[in-house]
Amino acid sequence: MSKFYVTTPIYYVNDKPHIGHAYTTVLADVLARYNRAMGNDTFFLTGTDEHGQKVQTAAEKHGISPQQHCDDTVQRFQELWNTLGITNDRFIRTTQEEHKRVVAEVLQDLYDRGEIYRGNYTGWYCVGDERFFTEKDLVDGKCPECGREVTAITENNYFFRMSKYQDWLIDYIKTHPDFILPAFRANETLGFLKKPLEDLCISRPKSRLSWGIELPFDKDYVTYVWFDALLNYVSGVGYRTDDEKFKRWWPASCELIGKDILTTHTVYWPTMLKAIGLPLPKTVFAHGWWLADSKKSNAQNENKAAGNVVVTENGEVKQKMGKSNGNAVSPESLIAMTNVDAFRYFLMAEMSLGNDACFSEETFTTRYNSDLANDLGNLLSRVVKMTIRATGGAIPASGELNADDRELFAAVDNAIAAMGSCLESYKLDQGIASVLNAVRAGNRYLEKCAPWTLAKNGETERLNTVLATSATAIYKVAVLLAPVMPNKMGELVTALGGDAKNLPVITELGKVASISGWQMSDVPPLFPRLEVQKPAPAEKVEKKSAKAEKKAAPAPQLEVPGVITINDFQRTELRTAKVLKAEKVEGADKLLKLEIEVGSENRQIVSGIAPWYAPDDLIGKNIVIVANLQKAKIRGIESCGMLLAAKCGDTLALVMPDKDIPSGTLVG
């Protein structure tokens, strides 16, 4: 049995949690659930960072003690984690005596060995990030991390000899490619390390900040909040308190962080561990930001220095979500729109782990309706209702499988394999996409096999096989998606007649041949469709007075021939595909018949590219196709999609990705 120890950053308790906190924690929970479902021994740590300037300031603002503020605010995190179904094995608080004792012992040990010394410091201090910066670090005279104003401070402090580990750290990152992921984040850290690394100020005088862990060797100082907080990853699994537990879990398998705290986790933390004498975590994974629409003026003037603004490829200005930017999204509001599992699904499916993702209610609604209501919910409803109508709900025994049945099971088997490999490479969204491909294959299977027609024609044996095959396929889908949507997939399994609390290990799921004999029960829709808000009817607008109408009327929008809107474009689903087979169409000089792989699904496309490409030249190529094009018959051969190509004069070239990318990847 393998072990998997996953952590989230511990969150400041200066305010209530938002979508960024929820995303990281749900992500860690999904990874933990998948590893348990794979049969791995798993430990999941999360918690709160309860010391430092921001906490003290927030407490003073509310007229209470810092400890009371922590005790009050931490409940918001714990309540939300309970709502989100977070299955952490421990929730650590840095005000707990056990953690404070570990921090004090580490500090004393480092001080005794000369790794910590006393000296004067002059620099620029950011209260928001609780960090010192040199003059050259500032951007337009402001904090390079958050864009806030900084304060010049000169004071006597204690320093950790971080600079002595610079060369070692550079070599470690270069020789351990899995340490910092995605790989481009490792390059960012290596870029940071090109400049001379300074020693780290690890104390704050009590005269300026009293809320923190007292230095064991100088009672006039408290510990720098980051030095204190980072140690939670080891104190939370028994470091210096439970040797057996610590040896079992450390080093961590994956420490999840947001990209804005990359330096603290890939420079401060590894040098601290090296000095302490502990191995480094296997992987520190920095995910991207959730972005929201931003007014350009605000973005440039208020947040440019912090790098909180992103301009997308089509020129849209987006801004990092967060309280300081005034655009934080409440997880509770999204959960109220649908349900907890739909919220969890959206977070995992929408963001490619490592990259930024844009959030809007329209995006949320579109993915919910498409993936959950239309695809997954529709498949379950059709299978259940058809089985109840045909057999009273008893899943019948299957007869001999034909090519259509085997094709559906192949799509499910591909999803099982893809989910395993995607988890190992932290490409969770691609794993989920492969499962949804299997769901869509299930809906196509029912359309093609038409069990309602089989029932009408009295073809009972074939009908039973179709019902058993589709029921078994959707059961396996539910097992694959259970770590993402534990409640709804539990309801799905129960509707099929299975035991939602006793699901098979995912690695053994391929061995489940059939669920014949289970008794189905009808259920209300798992994912009722969301209605998109529509503009007010035109007749209501016409009731405005002429004066108000003249004042409020927008500039006329002229239709430009050949120009489409973004909504028009979004209706087209472009995906990458891999050519598996190619052959000429008999009797047609220009046509080739291609068998292609689109994620976990195999399709057939007929295309007029024979004058430019020989069949053997195409096998193994990655191409781009229109994946949601209506099926057509060309020379009596079914064609499911259209490939993209550019033609100039007598030259034609297929559109192909310039890098190796998985088939089925969305293009756009």
- CB-neighbour burial class of residue 570 (10 A; exposed 0-12, middle 13-18, buried 19+): exposed
Give residue-wise pLDDT tens across range 94-126: 999 999 999 999 999 999 999 999 998 787 888
Q: Point out the domain boundary residue: 485, 511, 537.
A: 511
- From residue 591, how far is each of 604, 607, 633, 634, 655 by CA, in Å? 13, 5, 13, 9, 18
Higher-confidence position of 649 and 38? 38
Do 311 and 403 sit in the same domain of this protein? no
Residues 376 and 495 in one domain: yes
Q: Compute the distance between CA of residue 144 and CA of residue 127 in angstroms, rounded to an integer.
A: 13
**Contact between residue 253 and residue 283 where contact means Cβ atoms under 8 Å apart:** yes
Rounded to the nearest angstrom, the gap between the alpha carbon of residue 546 and the centroid of all alpha carbons in its chain is 50
Report if residue 274 sits inside a domain.
Answer: no
Q: Provide the pLDDT for residue 303.
A: 45
Q: What is the mean pLDDT of residues 457-466?
A: 97
Tell whether 322 and 377 lie within a shared domain. Answer: no
- pLDDT bracket for residue 259 (50, 70, 90): very high
How far is residue 96's CA from residue 21's CA, in Å, rounded to a whole number?
A: 21
Please give the distance of CA 519 from its chain centroid, rounded to a whole number.
36
**Whole-angstrom distance, CA of residue 199 vs CA of residue 23:** 33
Question: Is 473 contained in some domain?
Answer: yes
Tens of pLDDT, residue by residue over 419-456, are 999 999 999 999 999 999 999 999 999 999 999 999 99
CA distance 540 to 542: 5
Task: Examine the domain organization and report whether 583 and 649 are in the same domain.
Answer: yes
Could you tell me which of 404, 413, 409 has the C-alpha nearest to residue 471? 409
> Does 570 share its domain with 648?
yes
> What is the largest distance, in Å, between two alpha-carbon atoms of the chain?
91
Q: What is the DSSP string of 355-408?
A: S-EE--HHHHHHHIIIIIIIIIIHHHHHHHHHHHHHHTTBPPPP----HHHHHH
Determine the Cα–Cα distance for residues 244 and 239; give it in Å rounded to an integer: 9
Which stretches does DSSP call E strand in 488-591? 574-584
Residue at 607 is within a domain = yes
Q: How confident is the model at residue 648 (pLDDT cuts 50, 70, 90)?
A: low
d(CA 297, CA 320): 15
Which pLDDT band, with edges at 50, 70 and 90, does 616 fall under? confident
> Quick check: is 448 in a domain?
yes
Q: How confident is the model at residue 560 (pLDDT cuts 50, 70, 90)?
A: very low
How far apart are the C-alpha atoms of 145 and 653, rounded to whole Å?
45
pLDDT tens digits for 30-48?
999 999 999 999 999 999 9
Average pLDDT over residues 78-85: 96
The mean pLDDT value for 9-23 works out to 89
Angle in degrees, CA 222, 228, 230, rounded to 5: 160
- Whether 369 and 311 map to the same domain: the answer is no
394 with 505, same domain? yes
The CATH number of whichever domain residue 626 belongs to comes to 2.40.50.140
Question: 589 falls in which pLDDT band (50, 70, 90)?
Answer: confident
Instruction: Examine the fold and report which residue of 273, 303, 328 is the final residue of a domain before the chain moves on.
Output: 328
Q: For residue 200, which of 221, 223, 170, 179 has the smallest C-alpha distance?
A: 223
Q: Is the peptide bond before 182 cis (omega within 30 degrees of 0)?
A: yes
Peptide bond preceding 251 in cis form (omega within 30 of 0): yes
CA dist 394 and 265 (Å) reads 54
Check whether residue 578 and residue 630 sit in a common domain: yes
Query: Is residue 311 located within the same domain as residue 382?
Result: no
Tell me the β-bridge partners of 359: none
C-alpha to C-alpha distance for 31 and 86, rounded to whole angstroms: 11
**Residue 262 and residue 270: Cα distance in Å, rounded?**
12
Query: Lowest-confidence range among 212-216, 513-517, 544-548?
Result: 544-548
Tell me the residue length of the chain.
668
Residue 316 has pLDDT above 60, yes or no: no
pLDDT given for residue 651 in this prediction: 77
CB 284 within 8 Å of CB 230? no
The pLDDT-based confidence of 333 (bands split at 50, 70, 90) is confident
Instruction: Please count the helices (runs of H) and the strands (runs of E) in the chain.
Output: 25, 28
Q: Is residue 145 part of a domain?
A: no
Q: What are the φ/ψ torsions at residue 218 (nearest 5 degrees)?
A: -160, 105
Q: How far is CA 492 from CA 394, 478, 485, 503, 514, in A?
A: 15, 7, 10, 12, 16
CB–CB of 466/399 below 8 Å? Answer: no
| 339: CB partners within 8 A, 6+ apart | 487, 488
Measured CA to CA, the distance from residue 656 to residue 30 in angstroms comes to 33
Range of the structural domain that residue 457 is part of: 362-511
553: confidence class by pLDDT, cuts 50, 70, 90: very low
- Give the DSSP H/E element, type plus range, for residue 602: strand 601-607
Residue where a domain terminates, one of 276, 302, 328: 328
pLDDT, residue 633, reads 76
Tell me the C-alpha distance between 345 and 503, whole Å: 19
In whole angstroms, give the CA distance from residue 406 to residue 58.
Answer: 61
For residue 600, what pLDDT band results from cuts at 50, 70 and 90?
Answer: low
Answer yes or no: is pLDDT of 300 > 50: no
Q: Are residues 501 and 598 in the same domain?
A: no
pLDDT at 550 over 50: no
558 vs 597: which has the higher pLDDT: 597
CATH label of the domain that carries residue 416: 1.10.730.10
Same domain, 314 and 376: no
Mean per-residue pLDDT for 244-259? Answer: 98
* Token pair recorded at residue 308: 């909180």
- Return d(Cα 55, Cα 49) in angstroms, integer: 9
Tell me if 70 is assigned to some domain. Answer: no
- The verdict on residue 237 lying in a domain is no
pLDDT of residue 329: 72
Query: Is residue 625 situated within a structural domain?
Result: yes
Q: Helix, strand, or coil here: 133?
A: strand
Q: Which helix (H) or strand (E) holds 593?
A: strand 592-598
Q: What Å distances lie between residue 253 and 7, 242, 247, 284, 395, CA to CA? A: 9, 19, 13, 9, 42
Based on the fold, state whether residues 496 and 571 are members of the same structural domain.
Answer: no
657 neighbors 574 (Cβ within 8 angstroms): no
The count of domains in the chain is: 3
